[in-house]
Amino acid sequence: MMDETSDEPPTSAVFLDNCHFSQVIFNNVEKFYVPGGDVTCHYTLTQNIIPRGKDWVGIFRVGWKTTREYYTFMWAPVPSDTHGDSSVQQQIQFKAYYLPKDDEYYQFCYVDQDGVVRGASVPFQFRAETEDDILVVTTQGEVEELELQNKTLCQENEELKASCARLQKQNLGLQEELQKTQELQNSLESLRSKTETLELELNSLRKENKHLKELDDCREAELSQLKEQVQNVTSEKEHLEARLKTTMDQLQSLVLNYEKEVEKLSQMVHDKTEQLERLKEENQQLCVAGTHQQQNQDLMQELEEQKRLFQILQAKKNETDEENQKLKEENDELLRHLTQAEEVSSFPGVSQAPIPVPEAGGLLFGNPYCAAGANLRAGAGDEASLRKCPICNDVFPEEIETTQYEAHVQNHLLECPLCQESFENSDKQVFDDHILCHRLEEA
């Protein structure tokens, strides 16, 4: 039961270690109160307690264990002067309607707004006063009863002290746990700080990773573009190689035709030389005889005609040489394009087109100028009787030794150190192309 005009008071399930029953002292507590009347509770607030708005005074049955076991209660009034150093006298009146109706023992308890008991009174009863009670006051029985009550209170006090010791021990354990909890809280704060730092680093790494992915995409695009360029260069190289092969085939065909024509011209020169020799002999015979002057003039005219024919053949030979030089220049241009294509295809990651391996002792496309030197040597042999250099057209007397004549002709030639092929000094570019073909074979 409780005051019908009040809310539930603050209570505690167990005694706390800071319970001090001496902070509030109850005064003038009767041994028993007559039922049906109001009860006034007098108490003193010592200087060790600071009263608060939710403090209350309850009536408890003797033997209570927690502050929840009150029978009824009243809110404790807060004195006007709460900062003084002296004790304050207070009182509360309990209405008869809310008081117990049995004859059990009860006591007043002062409980603060935290549910902690700050003071307790001696036990009392609610029953009517009798003559026996008045007479007993002066008897030995009252003394014994008081001693019994005192003994009971002492026992309860010991139990309270033991409970207080247990609560103090429990409080120490709770303080240790609180300290551990605080340490865990500090560790948690430290971990949170580290986590925030790691999250910042993670965000930075994510940004860096995103930047690297963008760079990788750019490099992929550049690589794709480079591959496309390499494919274009490779295609152009293959086209140039096909064009070069076609041109080389045409050049070889032209060289063969040129060789045949040179051979034909050489044969014609040889025939004309023999004819000229015969005419010389006939001319000598005519001069010795001193006759047939008109016939000698005809022979001289025929000789002039042969010389003119020789000049025409020589001019045709020069035209053929010019055409051959043009073909050589075109071949040089194709070789330069092929070299540039091979340099582009040598980039890392680009597969180079395989170069066919020539047969032993031969060039890749053959030597387009090999016949020139041979014809020069052939021409030198055919005109040995004239002792005329086929390159510089110098004429040597017939009595000069053959070795001297050949040494003179050899000075006009460049000989390949690999295949002993000979070329004119004026055809230095042809000689260099010939050496380049050998190098390409070795590569």
Name the average pLDDT for the chain.
79
Q: With 90 as the cut, is the pLDDT of residue 285 above it?
A: no
Q: What is the pLDDT of residue 293?
A: 64
Decide: helix, strand or coil at residue 118. Answer: strand
Q: With 50 as the cut, is the pLDDT of residue 62 above it?
A: yes
Q: With 50 as the cut, is the pLDDT of residue 203 above it?
A: yes
Q: What is the pLDDT of residue 375?
A: 45
Model confidence band, residue 142 (pLDDT cutoffs 50, 70, 90): low
Mean pLDDT of 77-90: 81
- In total, the chain counts a number of residues equal to 443
Model confidence band, residue 429 (pLDDT cutoffs 50, 70, 90): confident
In order of 22, 106, 269, the CA distances from 311 in angstroms are 155, 162, 10
Mean pLDDT of 144-172: 82
Q: With 60 as the cut, is the pLDDT of residue 385 above it?
A: no
Contact between residue 217 and residue 209 where contact means Cβ atoms under 8 Å apart: no
Q: With 50 as the cut, is the pLDDT of residue 380 above it?
A: no
Percent of the chain with pLDDT strictly greater than 70: 80
Task: Give CA–CA dist 215/249, Å, rounded.
Answer: 49
Q: With 80 as the cut, is the pLDDT of residue 353 above it?
A: no
Q: What is the pLDDT of residue 247?
A: 84
Query: Of the given ranges (78-82, 363-367, 427-431), which has the lowest mean pLDDT?
Result: 363-367
Closest CA to 113 of 75, 81, 79: 75
Within 10 angstroms of residue 177's Cβ, the number of other Cβ atoms is: 11
Closest CA to 110 of 166, 29, 30: 29
Mean pLDDT of 64-69: 91
In order of 52, 60, 311, 322, 374, the CA distances from 316 in angstroms are 138, 149, 9, 10, 19
Name the residue with tokens 């008045």. 134
CATH for 1-128, among 3.30.420.10, 3.30.200.210, 2.60.40.2840, 1.10.1660.10?
2.60.40.2840
Q: What is the pLDDT of residue 175?
A: 81
Decide: helix, strand or coil at residue 100. Answer: coil
Model confidence band, residue 132 (pLDDT cutoffs 50, 70, 90): low
Mean pLDDT of 314-320: 83
Q: What is the pLDDT of residue 139?
A: 59
Task: Give CA–CA dist 33/35, Å, rounded.
Answer: 6
**Residue partners of 12: CB distance under 8 A and separation at least 6:** 66, 67, 68, 114, 115, 116
Could you tell me which residue, 208 or 369, shows the higher pLDDT?
208
In order of 106, 111, 121, the CA distances from 29 in angstroms are 11, 18, 7
Most confident option among 110-114, 263-267, 290-294? 110-114
Task: Give CA–CA dist 21/116, Å, rounded.
Answer: 10
pLDDT in tens, 165-199: 888 788 788 888 888 888 898 888 889 889 989 98
Within 10 angstroms of residue 369's Cβ, the number of other Cβ atoms is: 23
Q: With 90 as the cut, is the pLDDT of residue 325 above it?
A: no
Per domain, the residue ranges of the chain are 1-128, 356-443
Model confidence band, residue 351 (pLDDT cutoffs 50, 70, 90): very low
Query: Of the given ranges (38-52, 207-221, 335-349, 392-406), which has the lowest mean pLDDT?
Result: 335-349
Contact between residue 349 and residue 236 where contact means Cβ atoms under 8 Å apart: no
Model confidence band, residue 13 (pLDDT cutoffs 50, 70, 90): low
Query: Of the given ranges (34-43, 88-97, 215-224, 393-402), which has the lowest mean pLDDT?
Result: 393-402
Task: Give CA–CA dist 76/91, Å, rounded.
Answer: 8
Q: What is the pLDDT of residue 110?
A: 96
Q: With 60 as the cut, is the pLDDT of residue 6 above it?
A: no
pLDDT in tens, 217-252: 998 898 999 998 998 988 888 888 888 888 888 888
Model confidence band, residue 332 (pLDDT cutoffs 50, 70, 90): confident
